[in-house]
Amino acid sequence: MIKVGIVGGTGYTGVELLRLLVQHPHVELVAITSRKEVGMPVSDMFPNLRGRVGLKFVDPGEAPLKQCDVVFFATPNGIAMQQAPELLGAGVRVIDLAADFRIKDVAVWEKWYGMPHACPDLVPEAVYGLVEVNREQIGQARLVANPGCYPTAVQLGFLPLVEAGLVDVGHLVADAKSGVSGAGRKAEVHALLAEAGDNFKAYAVAGHRHLPEISQGLSAWAGRKVGLTFVPHLTPLIRGIHATLYGRLTREADLQALFEERYAGEYFVDVLPAGAHPETRSVRGANFCRIAVHRPQGGDTVVVLAVIDNLVKGASGQAVQNMNIMFGLPETAGLEHVPLLP
Amino acid sequence: MIKVGIVGGTGYTGVELLRLLVQHPHVELVAITSRKEVGMPVSDMFPNLRGRVGLKFVDPGEAPLKQCDVVFFATPNGIAMQQAPELLGAGVRVIDLAADFRIKDVAVWEKWYGMPHACPDLVPEAVYGLVEVNREQIGQARLVANPGCYPTAVQLGFLPLVEAGLVDVGHLVADAKSGVSGAGRKAEVHALLAEAGDNFKAYAVAGHRHLPEISQGLSAWAGRKVGLTFVPHLTPLIRGIHATLYGRLTREADLQALFEERYAGEYFVDVLPAGAHPETRSVRGANFCRIAVHRPQGGDTVVVLAVIDNLVKGASGQAVQNMNIMFGLPETAGLEHVPLLP
Amino acid sequence: MIKVGIVGGTGYTGVELLRLLVQHPHVELVAITSRKEVGMPVSDMFPNLRGRVGLKFVDPGEAPLKQCDVVFFATPNGIAMQQAPELLGAGVRVIDLAADFRIKDVAVWEKWYGMPHACPDLVPEAVYGLVEVNREQIGQARLVANPGCYPTAVQLGFLPLVEAGLVDVGHLVADAKSGVSGAGRKAEVHALLAEAGDNFKAYAVAGHRHLPEISQGLSAWAGRKVGLTFVPHLTPLIRGIHATLYGRLTREADLQALFEERYAGEYFVDVLPAGAHPETRSVRGANFCRIAVHRPQGGDTVVVLAVIDNLVKGASGQAVQNMNIMFGLPETAGLEHVPLLP
Amino acid sequence: MIKVGIVGGTGYTGVELLRLLVQHPHVELVAITSRKEVGMPVSDMFPNLRGRVGLKFVDPGEAPLKQCDVVFFATPNGIAMQQAPELLGAGVRVIDLAADFRIKDVAVWEKWYGMPHACPDLVPEAVYGLVEVNREQIGQARLVANPGCYPTAVQLGFLPLVEAGLVDVGHLVADAKSGVSGAGRKAEVHALLAEAGDNFKAYAVAGHRHLPEISQGLSAWAGRKVGLTFVPHLTPLIRGIHATLYGRLTREADLQALFEERYAGEYFVDVLPAGAHPETRSVRGANFCRIAVHRPQGGDTVVVLAVIDNLVKGASGQAVQNMNIMFGLPETAGLEHVPLLP
């Protein structure tokens, strides 16, 4: 059994980690921390865990994290980078669900996240945990930077096209829509049901923190700096991201075959038949990314539709997938849930 | 492995049975029927099952149902009663998720369901599958009548009070609220998102088919005919029933202790601490019924709050629970999902 | 033109007052205050008002409230009672949408609202603004206590029965369901879309502040202290209250005729035909209360269904209705909106 | 008073027309037809109209439509073209909310709508009712083709850019999201709350009927055939369209000024300040289109955000706006509703 600790368990990625890990056949939950809720049974905050998770929140300073095999950080940005060095030094592996180790260019990171990086020397070592690209390095990693939710959907959607050099990477468009759980379990007016319900809007068009993360990945595969317009939207659903991706084809290709071949060995990436439209509920609660590729009217614009559950493949599920690889477990262990529909 | 057939797999109880059974450690799915969709892969209709359920819908007449150990009827009312005799005759056990065998008084059944009963002789044998009451008989049953969704929540909520003779059973009130999946996967205007969304209403106040089913149970435990006012409401959520139950206390008692003791051995009935308010999402996708009991202002009115997922404990999950008992499996086999929250 | 001031315009009752008043033919908006948002154009906070409301939020201390004919308090509880005496002294009429003047028994008020009352001497003078009961006194009032949202629906539903002495007032049950805008525009976790969406729960079963308010009204009409069990629920819609009311009949009566006659002259109370089920969306954005009365199975329990828009008839619309009466305007002035459906 | 008839009043555009027209100061509702619901009071189907609309549905054959000044067709495609010639011949003006007269190229229309056109000779005369472009011709028109919902939002968003020749019209992208009322009041499984709720998906990526309508408009303004990729999505809200539009700039320009100037005289088009993000609820129930223009990261891609209420500016409100112009009324008559928020 792998001994697992979770730092910061009061948010949605925290409760989702707990949901997945408590059902994982090879995991022993050792500790979950919260500075604010010390002593409160986890299942008091999250009643879905009643009878399943007996742990109480413990103070980060007192949690036996160094006795864990792996520690997940389900914290706001800027926390993992403060604690990771000490844990790594103690031989504990670290998976950060926040953004601290996702951007290789520390100056870029500091600009977008508005703080100095606490351990820039660890950044080069951190492996970006997009399994479908970095599976091998993840297997060797001590420190994994779990991808962001939008970046997971957008990168998996663009990946085959960019790798194959089929699109004008100078002018990519990612129009992405997210459910409100992506905003986290924070008391903010704009995320109230009375505000975000029965409503739809774009936000952060001028610049969203996931833009440099996505650009970094796409640029690496393209071999040159890509030009990406990324527009996120808030949609009145709880879980789910739908990315609609647009690119201009630079040469002919069998797009359906391209996607099917690229993801042939990937259990968690499901390429739908030609003409299909994936829906977010088809992955609700599960670690899948479902993708369809279209070429409307036979023109030179390719449209990719990619859906994930932002809390699973876009966060906690992918984190568990990374853990499985890091510890030599079957990649699907603890992740074989059938999506909940309706 | 238990060989399972499903008759009528195109509705919500059908897809939910498939979700649960495909993850069940002791089940082999043999056939799923649909008159209309013969030949269609089940996962074309329900994309959450892609990669997990390889079956196609087969014609009811051609399905190898007699080779199954158990057949679930996830059909409209009136279908199971036509096919059950032949299956039972062939040694196949039957679990009906519809109402054909729930009401012992055939005349009452025929009045409320508006059709003659096709096999009234089988009705006495059928065991009403409310596990927390009839566990032993279910273990011996060939034919189980799986309870309705409202009746499950309302009966589990009233059960301890009525068994203990603590309330005036002549004047019980059950104010119940259901998500729209309870109306089934039928194309009806009133269930459109544009109609039922952002809207709340009562319906069938004059009389709902679940009234005689609930009254039958309560009356049996009370030892006399109960007087029940049952008002169902449609609420804009997908899954979930919340029953708010009112009774007038006839004598003093420790209500919290009463409920805790009655359900002490019941894994799937979770009595919350005093003062709590269960929420429907705390059971989303799982087989639990969570219950709280209140006595507002210390008066003589007891208020019970009970929540279930109408598609799980209120339908397919309870059906699997019944199957487990009928076949001597652990009662929780295949039903240990943690509810999905948020 | 009536000169109107609004104290506390950043919540939902504030923006709803603005929506109604800006379209009112006899109103001139003079000032709207907010301590926090001084200087911000109102339409920056509420984009639905762009092009219609040119006002900016002003500091309460600097607003020309004494030059108004009437001031609405759309504030948290405890504010109006501090400022009303001075305004009344200056000849300004006051309508408080909060609870400061609703409860005649100051000790009861102080117990439920947890603070000493700032001007108990004004409480006797304040008229409870339930128009269908107190129309005449409202016409003479300087100070109106606008009813709460639940109390409006529950009282209008019980009123004909209690006035006529038809029900056992010792054991009334009000099972009420509210949309989330009733919780106000406050950043609280439990009201997030990711928490309250696709979810249903009861709350405050042990005691809700609207209980003494409702009991006060019912008791006055009954001529004795009533026994009421009041259970509020949070339902995932934005606007709307549905009250389901239960009482035990003490004698025979034509209930449909009773309700139709009681509300025959009331434009804003719509008694539906026998057998009907009002839905919350049928009053969305409008000042109506729609009511249906049932007697299920011909038994001795009467069931009343009453719906309102909590922000209109349950708050700002009723406040404008009160204003119209106080100033001798047609009662429907500025309130003739057709509900928005779908 | 203008005498108005409505053909086909049982859908959402029908009830919305009624909501708007019954509050219109210059309109007398004469008749509303429905083949199926002859004799039913309109307010039985649409309870929001209780007390406001006394009409009953009449058979199309018996309705006094020729005595009207104007007849609105709120019908499925293919109905108006059968009845318009006779009405026009009788001197009645016609506004078709369906698509029969929107496409000037009859062959294109017949291909996309799958039927022969019944009166191709009337097509040239019909004026496309996008007021902000064709106001003058509308003033002279006998027959107005009211624009589709998506085409209204997409065209108003692209209009200033295309007119000014600022974007590469060979590669425009319109990523549009619609609430479910856009699918109409039809009993279809995919639009059930249990299907479309808490879900998001694209549809008709291969080709949607609004594509040729949008292309026709853009091409006319561009002076050449445009290349447009149009991807519609279904989002779980009731009313609202959000169009996110992408174009590649071909030269420098002050985009904010361009939009503000183009729409300076347009009451119903509201250009938001630079940096803003319009939300669909800000136009709920009202005839506005709110637009923001962005140039993310200062690159060469322009992003336009445009929101409308699909049932108002995208259908019935725009139809009333057209009527106002056709009859020389103030353009805003009957359309001054403040959007409903929250």
CA distance A218 to chain D (A): 17
Kind and range of the H or E run holding C14: helix C12-22
- CB-based contact, D40 to chain C, within 8 Å: no
pLDDT tens column, D48-61: 999 999 999 999 99
Give burial (CB, 10 Å; 0-12/13-18/19+) of A44: middle
- Give strand ranges (E) for A63-220: 70-73, 93-96, 127-128, 143-145, 172-178, 201-202
* Cα D86 from Cα B130, distance rounded (Å): 65
Apex A188 CA angle, A118 and A147, nearest 5: 45
pLDDT, residue B192, reads 97
Q: Name the residue facing A238 among C183, C188, C197 (closest C-beta).
A: C197
pLDDT, residue A246, reads 98
* Cα D311 from Cα B194, distance rounded (Å): 12
Q: D15: which residues sit within 8 A by CB, 6+ positions away?
A: C341, C342, D9, D45, D46, D48, D49
Apex C226 CA angle, C225 and C227, nearest 5: 130
Angle between helix axes A149-163 and A210-222 (nearest 10 degrees) is: 20
pLDDT > 90 fraction of chain C, expressed in percent and rounded: 99
Please name every residue paired with C27 in a beta bridge, in sequence order, or none if there are none. Answer: C2
Residue of B132, B133, B109 whose CA lies nearest to B122: B109
Query: Searching chain B, which residue's CA lies closest to the CA of residue C249?
Result: B171
pLDDT, residue D151, reads 98
Residue B168 burial (CB count, 10 A) = 14
Pair type for strands D228-234 and D201-202? antiparallel
Give the SS3 label for residue D252.
coil
pLDDT, residue B257, reads 98
Count of all residues that appear for chain D in the document? 342
In contact, B176 and B233? CB cutoff 8 Å: yes
Reply yes or no: is the peptide bond before residue C342 cis, omega within 30 of 0: yes
| Backbone φ and ψ of A156, nearest 5° | -65, -30
A231 backbone φψ class: left, alpha, beta (φ>0; ψ -120 to 50): beta
* Cα A323 from Cα A142, distance rounded (Å): 10
Across residues D201-223, what is the average pLDDT? 98
Residue A76 burial (CB count, 10 A) = 14
Query: Searching chain C, which residue's CA lies closest to the CA of residue A12?
Result: C194
Give per-10-residue mean pLDDT for chain C (342 aa). 96 97 97 95 97 94 96 98 98 98 98 98 98 98 98 98 98 98 95 97 97 98 98 98 98 97 98 98 98 96 98 98 98 97 97
CA distance D244 to chain B (A): 23
Pair type for strands A93-96 and C27-33? unpaired
Residue ranges and CATH numbers for the domains of chain B are 2-125 (3.40.50.720), 150-310 (3.30.360.10)
Query: For testing the chain C interface, which of B111, B149, B189, B201 should be mutated: the one with the most C CBs within 10 Å?
Result: B201
Give this prediction's pTM. 0.97
Give the SS3 label for residue C341.
coil
Stretches in chain B below the pLDDT threshold 50: none
Structure tokens at D174: 């319109």
The 8-class DSSP code of residue D279 comes to B
Q: Name the residue facing A22 among B51, B239, B338 (closest C-beta).
A: B338
Say if the Cβ atoms of D192 and B198 lie within 8 Å: no
Q: Provide the edge-to-edge strand list for the sheet that holds B241-248.
A: B201-202, B228-234, B172-178, B241-248, B301-308, B289-294, B269-271
Query: If pLDDT is split at 50, 70 and 90, which confidence band does D236 have?
Result: very high
- Per-residue exposure over D192-214, b if at least 16 CB sit within 10 Å of its own CB, e if not: bbbbbbbbbbbebbeebbbbbbb
pLDDT tens column, B276-306: 999 999 999 999 999 999 999 999 999 999 9
Reply yes or no: is the peptide bond before residue C339 cis, omega within 30 of 0: no
pLDDT, residue A43, reads 96
Distance of CA C131 to the CA centre of its chain: 11
Partners of residue B340 in chain A, C-beta under 8 Å: 19, 48, 284-285, 340
* Cα A43 from Cα B279, distance rounded (Å): 13
Q: Give me Rg for the CA atoms of chain A.
A: 19
Count of all residues that appear for chain C in the document? 342
One-letter amino acid at A321 equals Q
Say if the Cβ atoms of C299 and B229 lie within 8 Å: yes
pLDDT, residue B200, reads 98
CA distance A191 to chain C (A): 6
Structure tokens at B58: 């087969």
ipTM, two decimals, is 0.97
pLDDT tens column, C35-67: 999 999 999 999 999 999 999 999 999 999 999
- CB-based contact, D296 to chain B, within 8 Å: no
Chains A, B: CB pairs < 8 Å? 86
B68 is known as an active-site residue:
no
Give burial (CB, 10 Å; 0-12/13-18/19+) of B197: buried
Residue C107 burial (CB count, 10 A) = 10
Say if the Cβ atoms of A198 and C238 lie within 8 Å: yes
Partners of residue C300 in chain B, C-beta under 8 Å: 171
pLDDT, residue D341, reads 97
pLDDT tens column, D245-280: 999 999 999 999 999 999 999 999 999 999 999 999
Kind and range of the H or E run holding C144: strand C143-145
Please name every residue paired with A143 in a beta bridge, in sequence order, or none if there are none. Answer: A94
pLDDT, residue C315, reads 98
Please name every residue paired with C241 in a beta bridge, in sequence order, or none if there are none. Answer: C178, C308
CA distance A340 to chain B (A): 7
Please name every residue paired with A231 in a beta bridge, in sequence order, or none if there are none. Answer: A175
Q: Name the residue facing A229 among D280, D281, D301 (closest C-beta).
A: D301
Say if the Cβ atoms of A240 and D175 lie within 8 Å: no
- Please, which residues 185-204 of chain B have a Cβ atom closer than 8 Å to chain D? 185-189, 191-198
Say if the Cβ atoms of B181 and D194 lie within 8 Å: yes
Residue of D141, D112, D110 whose CA lies nearest to D126: D141
Q: Name the residue facing B280 among C200, C278, C279 (closest C-beta).
A: C200
**Which chains sit next to B, with 3 or more Cβ pairs under 8 A?**
A, C, D
Stretches in chain A below the pLDDT threshold 70: none
Please name every residue paired with C233 in a beta bridge, in sequence order, or none if there are none. Answer: C177, C202
Say if the Cβ atoms of A185 and C198 lie within 8 Å: no
* Cα D147 from Cα D60, distance rounded (Å): 24
* Cα A126 from Cα A213, distance rounded (Å): 14
pLDDT, residue D112, reads 98
Q: Name the residue facing C193 among A12, A180, A187 (closest C-beta).
A: A180
pLDDT, residue D249, reads 98
pLDDT, residue D197, reads 97
Reply yes or no: is the peptide bond before residue D342 cis, omega within 30 of 0: yes
| Backbone φ and ψ of A68, nearest 5° | -85, 160
In contact, A22 and A46? CB cutoff 8 Å: no
* Cα C75 from Cα A294, distance rounded (Å): 53
